[in-house]
Structures are given as C-alpha cells and as structure tokens.
Structure 1
Amino acid sequence: MRKLEELDFDNTYGRRLPEAFYSWVTPTTLTDPYLVSFNAAAAELIDLDPREFERPDFAEYFSGSKPFPKAEPLAMLYAGHQFGSYVPQLGDGRAILLGEVRNRRGEKWDLQLKGAGPTPYSRGFDGRAVLRST
C-alpha cells in the first residue's frame, strides 16, 4: 500500500490527446478543507494505504488545495446536446481530473474532483458544487 505522495500518476489524456480536448488547470484552493467521508474500498483500488486518511493534510490533497506529486490536473472539453440543441463546446465546468492513478495490477483509475472551482468551460459560473449535487 502507498502513501499519498507515492501514488503512481500517469496522465495519458494529457499526453495522447490533442490539446483541443482539454485544458491544464489548477484547482481553486479551499480554506480549512475537512474530511466528510472515506471509502476504504476506493482507496484499495488505487493502492492507497487506508491509514492515510488519518493524516492532517489528507483533505488538502483530495480538495485540490495541495497538489499530488506528478499529478497534472486538467479539465476536459467535449461536445454534445444540451436542452435539445447541439453545443460544440461544453466541458468540465466544475470538475477537474486530478489525474489517472495506476495501481500495482496495472489498472488505471481517474481521480476527479467535482466542485474544484472555475475552469475554462465554467461559462461564467463559480465551478463549485455542494455535497448533494450530482
């Protein structure tokens, strides 16, 4: 099992996709983030030692306030239909992909932060989300 600083980030989206599909971003920091819930099964998927959640800075990492080593956060750009019309440029307006984490079995898991603050695709909104949001 790994410590937070030892997670194996491998951001293939940013290396393999043309930059037209994403923007590099920095999460907007929070003042005094705190842990609301911890999922031990999810931690196991990324080989994270479950005792790491006891660290005082755990919430800082998972709120985007403290960057993970080797992580390269980005917001995705995509197109689709919204309110019955085709929109050629939508995107992650309040979600940031902190990075792809590879576990020891070679599986990759995305760490996404929802409500991370504005991105280039926020369309004038603050990019935040409440806990109950979908």
Structure 2
Amino acid sequence: MLRLLWAMSVRTRYFLRRYMPTNILLDLIRTRRGLKWGIPAMLLAAPYLLAASICTNLLADGGPGWLSLLVLLLIWNALKFIVMGPVSLALLVRVRIQEAVARCRARRQDDAMESVAYTEASVA
C-alpha cells in the first residue's frame, strides 16, 4: 500500500512539474539565464492574490464550495512566486561569485603559463 502511494505521488509530482504553467515558469526562472527574472516574477503574485480575493468574496456571498479549492490553488501559486524572488536573487549572487572565482583562476593559470613560457624562452 505504501509503495502504491509513493508511486502515485511521484507520478502526480511529475505531471504537475511537467504540465502546470506556474511550475514551467518557475523552472525557467531557476535556469542561469532566467535568474534575473525572479524579482519581476514576484509581480505575478498580485493577479493570483486578486483572483483569490474575488473568489473569497464570491464564497462569502454564497458561492459554490469548490471555489475554496480554487482559492487555495491561487494562494499557493502566489506564494510560489513571492518566494521565488528572493531565492532567485540569492542563486544569482551565488552563480556570479562562482563565475568570478572561475575567471580569477583562469587568469592566474594564464599568467602562470605565460611566465613559464617566458622563462623557457629566456633560457633557450
């Protein structure tokens, strides 16, 4: 039974990661080229929160109960975008530091190779 639940949860996660628009967008933001779009993507939380507010008002006025699930989905998507902004900023800083370190190492290695070549040329 536990194995069946595990397999079902893995397949559900795969489906949601692959086909849901917010997850696709968040996956694109997590790439190196997309990290710069994390902060502007936080603005996408506003329409989700507005839609959740509208659905909540409809629920308060006696709307159908299934709107509660929609409210939860909208708030969850808004929270994903709100959290992605600072996370992408931290990831971008980390990547930039790694790139700077790699450039510094490459420059040092090139300088070392030039000095070795210069020493060999002067000896010969």
TM-score (norm 2): 0.25
Task: Pick the structure with more helix per residue.
Answer: 2
Task: Pick the structure with more strand per residue.
Answer: 1
